[in-house]
Every structure is written in structure tokens, then in C-alpha cells.
Structure 1
Amino acid sequence: MVVMMFVIGLFIVLGILLINCKGSFLIAGYNTMPPEEKEKYDIVALCKFMGIMMFSLSFSMLFWLLSEAYEISWLFSFGLVLFLGIVVFMLIYINTGNRFKK
């Protein structure tokens, strides 16, 4: 339970960093691009989206914590489905439509 609270807290801190556009170096793929390639992307929109996704993932993990605290097994299943749904949505949204290109 303590580990889960630490992970949720870490995700919230990362979400705050990303919402404030201070954590662009944490976005995988973006940090390894050459500078001329980075100029093609709207880093503010990308960071804000990733920050919101970090908050969403931490919210879904909260169901795991509640499941353990109150011993309600369906809460864990609900949180897991929500977590996986957010990850799938995030992957599809980021990789289609050139949404974050300038």
C-alpha cells in the first residue's frame, strides 16, 4: 500500500512538472530528437497533454489503492481497465493526426 501511494505521488509530481512545461526532457522520444527536429513540435501542447495523462493515470491507480484498503476486488479490476484504456487512448491520440506538430 505504501509503494502504491509513492507511485501515485510520483505520477502527480510528474504531472505537475509536465503541466508547467518543465519536464519536456522526461518525454520519451522527444528528448532524443535532434534540435532541428524538436522545433517541428508544439512542446507546450505536448507537455500539457502528457501532464493531464499523468493525472489520469494516477486517478486510475487510486482505485487500486482503495481496492486494497477496503478489500473490494472489483475496484481493482475497474482501475486496471481504466488504466489500460487511458494508455491505449494516449498511444492512439499521440501517434495519429500530427496533433502536436507546429
Structure 2
Amino acid sequence: MPWQPPQLGGSKPKRKKWAPPIGQPDRRKRGRAGQRDRAQVVAEEPLCRLCLKRNVESPTEEVDHIVPLSRGGSDTRANKQGLCSPCHLAKTRAEDAARRREADLAP
């Protein structure tokens, strides 16, 4: 087999499913700013917001975006809530199912 010189640049890496579309900025706060925001939400809401609606006291374990960033929600404090892990998992599964239904209906 003849020798081939290395190709510069190569092929473009594929976008991960969770990554924003190429060319679109990621609106999620990261690093210390994100940690500070999450700590603020947990301090302000030590109990799960959805459990409190059902008169159950459960500690906040996850900080959730009320309107997901993928659906146009912002990364501000007004769009965040404290949830326990089971409530967060249930909400995430419901959002994923709705997203799949919408994708199936799209032409």
C-alpha cells in the first residue's frame, strides 16, 4: 500500500445529541457561575417544589429549568426550581416523551 501524507483538518467531529446545534451559542451557565446559581436555588428552595404541591416534604436534590433551554427557556433564576430526584426524573421523562411525539408529527 503506498504511503499517504496525513490530512490536515480531517473530518468534522459529529455533534453530540446533548450539544447545541453547530453555530448556535450554548445558553447554559457553566463553571462557578452555574455552581453559584445552583447553590442559590437550593438555599432558597430547600424542599422539592412539586412534592410541596402534594403536601409531601422532600429535600431538593436537583436544580431544574422550568422551561427547558431546548424549548427556549432562559438560564435565569426565575426559570429554575428545586426538585427531588424522583420528581426531576419524572419531569425529564415527560419532556422527552413530548419531544419525541413532536418529532414524529413533524413533516
TM range (shorter): under 0.3
TM-score if structure 2 supplies the norm length?
0.26
- Larger-gyration structure (1/2): 2
Bigger strand fraction: 2
